[in-house]
Structure 1
Amino acid sequence: MHPVVKPALRRGWRDLNTVQFGMTPAHAVTLAPMDTATGSFLELLNGTRGLPLLREEARRMDLPDGHADLMVERLARSGLLDDARGGGPAADTLRGSKEALDRLRPDLASLSVTTADAGDAIRRLAARRALRVQVRGTGRVGAVLASLLSGAGVGEVDVCDGGQVEPWDVAPGGLPADAVGERRDEAARRSVRRAAPDRPPRRGPGLPAVGAEPGFSLVVLTPRDDVAVHAPAPSAADHLVSSGTPHLYAGVVEATGMVGPLVLPGETGCAGCLDRTRSDRDPAWPRLVTQWRSGRRRQVRACDLALATTVAGLAAAHALAVLDGRLPSSAGSRWEVSLPGLQWHARPVRAHPACPCGAAERDREGRAPEDGAPHETMGGQRSSTAMGRKARAARPAGTWRAHV
């Protein structure tokens, strides 16, 4: 191990004996007591030395025997330590691609803030290169989202859509102006390729997908049709539910952006649950949806460029959380934001007892997680899935966490 104090967290002395790592309340950590000599020793934890050399340096600084090991252990326990050579073979391969790693260094730094174990950040980043995601719908939201996932290091981002690019599909980071008139899927694939840091191997080992459809770890549904955004047809995802493929909804309808729900089949509410719950609350809902779907189609739908880009960015962040083995707040919830107020609201998508997806049955059984731990609230859902267990395991130890 070559320990390095995570450089993404800014360091400052709160007083003569207390060091604070990080600025924001979500991630700031304090260590105390900390004397001046130990503070100087922290400067040596830059990834260039292994533990034997660090022990020698500590002796030269007249630090007590075992102090180097104790400090490394303490920093590791508080989630502040990384390993400059850790992460496994996939991480070593990524380090060998300097151009790709340089492109991804901001993403790596961000992952280091949100992971606890040394070497875990680059392991997760390298694992993305072996994953495949499909984005269905390449309008202003879908095309940008697909490029974001590719740029964040996802190895293969497949896009699925029909028709040709229209002038109103053009968006920075998505479909370019010179693609107007071309096949939509081909133009989107070029944007995805341009965004990729490199060309990683097409397939390979990575973080295991949760019951994924063969080849896809996640499917993101970003329909260009505003009715499909507001009232997603359950039949469009039936095969995803039956195959156990995680899928996420996102889009814009009438100046309102929507991200979610993230559907973990058999675990969280799906489009069928959403449709049945709405019908229970509003008897007119099925009649309205039928009219919306069969009514006269407008040529250009309301889709504000800045709002669409915002939705694409948030949806990409939720998708990456899933791919990294986390459980984002869109699991069983739908985030909505409307112009001009731009206040985000989370609306729960609860499992419906009449839906064949099986999520309600699991809720009724009230099963405890396999590891025997009590249910824990994460984004409004009980984290009893494998993703939930990974998310809990990835948290830094709370002993050193400071509220600032």
Structure 2
Amino acid sequence: MFFVLRRINKAHPAVWKDPNTIQIGLGPNSVVLPELTKEQEKIIDALYSGLVDGQQEVIDSTLEAAPGETKNLIEKLQSVIDKPLPGKTPYGDWQQLAFAEIARASLDYQVNGEMVLAERWQRNVHIDQLDKAGMLFAKALLASGVGTVVTHDDGLVLATDLGELGYPKEFLGKSRFESLQLELSKLSLPITKKQRLASLTYKPDKSLKVSFALVIGHLALRPTTYSRWLNRDVNHLSITFNLDSVEVSPVVIPGVTPCLNCFQEYKVDEDNSWPVMASQLVDLPRVRDDSAALLTAIGLATRSVLRQLDESAGFVHSGDTDAEFRHGYRFDYATGTVTRTVYELHKLCSCQEPKLDLGND
């Protein structure tokens, strides 16, 4: 599979001739663009990073530019754009579906979006359960360029896991892990020898490092599912489906931010019988992930995970210097209101104390 990258040669500087006119390059090959709009200015910024053929319409739509604006600018700037040599992508036919991911990464970080996806390709994200929510989250991460989804789930597909957003009915009673493998084999994912879904049920390769972990709960979280990652210094977050809302926790950075146990301790402060209640709730059927709640939660959580992975790789969003992306979300079913949430350290929690190096397998 080949792609063509359109990129302004960085040797050609952008120089303002007046507040509304910009010149790209110096000398006979320079291009002067009068009456430059804000949208055109952003397109030029993106072209300095590079755009793959097929992204033009996505850029126009994202920047709310006039249809065909990106294509027109590329034509005007031909004399300062690097000669478009076809390159080969490691993603196979999937590259045809990755334009939106590349475009978003380019706009978020003002770099070539393929650089961002190349870094994501090296990351492994753990999902504790491959139920309906876990399955959908795995697909979202893989579609976003994450290299491998890993899990300890050795359970079977339940009736609550079936449906249009879950597993086909013929997988009922079969291994969740093997069923998801079969489902992924039908998708337009990268053609590669890299294992996209890996089980940690058996002793894993020592070289495998978990980059991020996701914990999913209904009404309550099982403490062992998140304490594992806190003790191993692995960044993580949780999704909890409640009766009146769905919550995506803030990103937990062990030893740096408040943790999920801090949140649980505050729940105990509100009701000292919470631990007893929670121990009963965690084993109830997982039936609170209706389609609207599920899609909302997966979308918000995916964005949080990707931003944290990208920042860990050195890509920082210029529009979020305070790292607000790490805040959590609470989506209210009744009103549709999305509220950003933050956790506070709890005096009874030991999450800020030094941890032993236990590895993260």
Settle same-fold status: TM greater than 0.5.
Answer: yes
* SS of 1:346 mapped into structure 2: strand
Shift of the 173–303 alpha-carbon distance from structure 1 to 2, 3 Å rule, reads: closer
Aligned mates of 1:108, 1:167 — CA distance in 2? 36
Q: Structure 1: how far apart are the matches of 2:344 and 2:281?
A: 29
Is 2:121 the partner of 1:129?
yes
1:104 counterpart residue number? 98
For 1:32 and 1:278, how far apart are their aligned partners in 2?
Answer: 59
Matched, 1:227 2:220: yes
Which residue does the alignment assign to 2:80? none
Retained in 2: the 8 A contact 1:161–1:184? yes
Is 1:306 the counterpart of 2:279 in the alignment?
no
Equivalent positions of 1:61-100 (< 5 A) are 79-84=45-50, 95=89, 97=91, 99-100=93-94
Identity %: 17
Deviations along 1:157-176, one digit per CA (max 9) or x if unpaired, are: 12332432123212435423
Amino acid paired to 1:273:
C
What residue is the counterpart of 1:341 in the other structure?
335
**Equivalents in 1 of 2:17, 2:238: separation in Å?**
41
Stretches of structure 1 that go unaligned for 5 or more consecutive residues are 6-29, 43-50, 68-74, 87-91, 204-212, 362-404
Partner of 1:237: 226
Residue 234 (structure 2) pairs with residue 253 (structure 1): no
Per-residue CA distance 1:5-51 (angstroms, 9 max, x = gap): 9xxxxxxxxxxxxxxxxxxxxxxxx996234xx5xx77xxxxxxxx7
Structure 1 contact 134–157 (Cα < 8 Å) conserved: yes
**Which of 1, 12, 19 pairs up with 1:33?**
19
Taking structure 1 as reference, are residues 317 and 31 closer, same or farther at Cα in structure 2, changes over 3 Å only? farther
CA contact (8 A) 1:132 1:154 kept: yes
Q: Any idea what SS the aligned residue of 2:132 has?
A: coil
Q: Could you tell me how far 1:324 is from its partner in structure 2?
A: 1.2
Q: 1:351 to 1:95 in 2, by over 3 A?
A: same
- Give 2:110's match in structure 1, choosing from 102, 116, 133: 116
Cα distance in 1, alignment partners of residues 336 and 250 from structure 2: 19
**Are 1:171 and 1:305, in contact at CA under 8 Å, matched by a contact in 2?**
no
RMSD: 3.7
Whole-Å Cα distance in 1 between the matches of residues 344 and 188 of structure 2? 36
Displacement, 1:80? Answer: 4.2
Q: TM-score, normalised by structure 2?
A: 0.67
Task: Describe the shift of the 1:3–1:163 C-alpha distance in structure 2 as closer, same or farther (beyond 3 A).
Answer: closer
Distance of aligned partners of 1:153 and 1:193 in 2 relative to their CA distance in 1, 3 Å threshold: farther
1:120-269 equivalences under 5 Å are: 121-195=113-187, 197-200=189-192, 202=194, 214-223=208-217, 225-228=218-221, 232-233=222-223, 235-269=224-258
Answer yes or no: is 1:57 the counterpart of 2:29.
yes
Measured against aligned partners, the alpha-carbon deviations of 1:271-326 in whole angstroms (never above 9, x if no partner) come to: 1211223333x2x24x1331342379544633312211211121111111111115
Say whether the 8 Å CA contact 1:165–1:184 is kept in structure 2. yes
Aligned residue for 1:137, secondary structure, equals coil
Q: How many residues align?
A: 285
Please identify, of 147-156 and 317-326, the stretch whose mean Cα deviation from structure 2 is larger.
317-326
Tell whether 2:297 aligns with 1:317. no
1:264 shift after superposition = 0.6
Contact in 2 for aligned 1:153/1:197 (Cα 8 Å): no
1:262 Cα shift? 1.3
Unaligned runs of 5+ in 2: 10-15, 34-40, 53-85, 196-206, 355-361
Paired position in structure 1 for 2:345: 351
State the distance in 1 between where 2:46 and 2:211 align. 30
Deviations 1:259-278 (A, max 9, x none): 11311111111112112233
User: Residues 137-170 of structure 1, C-alpha deviation per residue, up to 9 Å, x if partnerless?
Assistant: 1223211111110111111112332432123212
Offset of 1:83 from its aligned partner? 3.6
Is the contact made by 2:158 and 2:173 (CA closer than 8 Å) also made in structure 1?
A: yes
Q: Is the 8 A contact 2:165 2:291 kept in 1?
A: no
Q: What's the CA shift for 1:108? A: 0.5
Deviation at 1:237, TM superposition (A): 2.5
Describe the shift of the 1:182–1:298 C-alpha distance in structure 2 as closer, same or farther (beyond 3 A): same
The structure-2 alpha-carbon separation of the partners of 1:128 and 1:320, relative to structure 1 and needing over 3 Å to count, comes to same
Partner SS for 1:141: helix
Structure-1 separation of matches of 2:118 and 2:143: 13
Partner amino acid, structure 2, of 1:252 = F
Distance in 1 (alpha carbons) for counterparts of 2:90 and 2:27: 29
